[in-house]
Amino acid sequence: MSNDSSTLSQDAAFDLLSNARRRLALKYLLEQDTPVGIDELAAHVAAVENDTEAEQLDEKQRKRTYVSLYQTHIPKLAKAGVVEYDPDERTVELNGNLRTITSYLSSEEPSDEWPRYFLGVSIGGLVVHVLSVLLAPQFSAAVGTVIILLFTVLSLVYYRSSRRQLRPVVSRGAEQ
């Protein structure tokens, strides 16, 4: 692997993200503006893994996470050029050259907005269509057509949005 994450291949990026603990560490580092101590990083990761607050962790939970970050995960991320590790200060920070790997991190959680949009158009369309049938039957066909067009447009927007989220960002010429 290279020391420049912009040249990470898709396979290398996926290898780095294949471990949940590394993903949690990277997400936390993305939220920080300054270097983070490994103790703080381990406490955050352990808290998320144990579904609790950092203050509620026992020493065993902290230590197990700290050791794996210190011995395995941070060195792997540093070797790949994704983070900078200062062994004297025992701090870690993103190296600022993280575009490839964050493109894979950011789309991990699917959006839950689309079902609401479809439900809203369904309910609204049903109400409008029933009203048009009852109050103005001569326009009910036109209203039905407009509702179908709304669904078509919404479906196309959803399709394009989901394709954009699924499209991987692979750095050029970086296959290993």
Per-residue pLDDT of 19-39, as tens digits, reads 999 999 998 998 888 999 999
Dist CA 30 CA 105 (whole Å): 10
User: Mind listing the pLDDT tens digit for each residue in 87-103?
Assistant: 999 999 988 656 667 66
Residue 73 CB coordination number (10 Å): 23
Residue ranges of the chain whose pLDDT lies below 50: 1-5, 107-108, 166-176
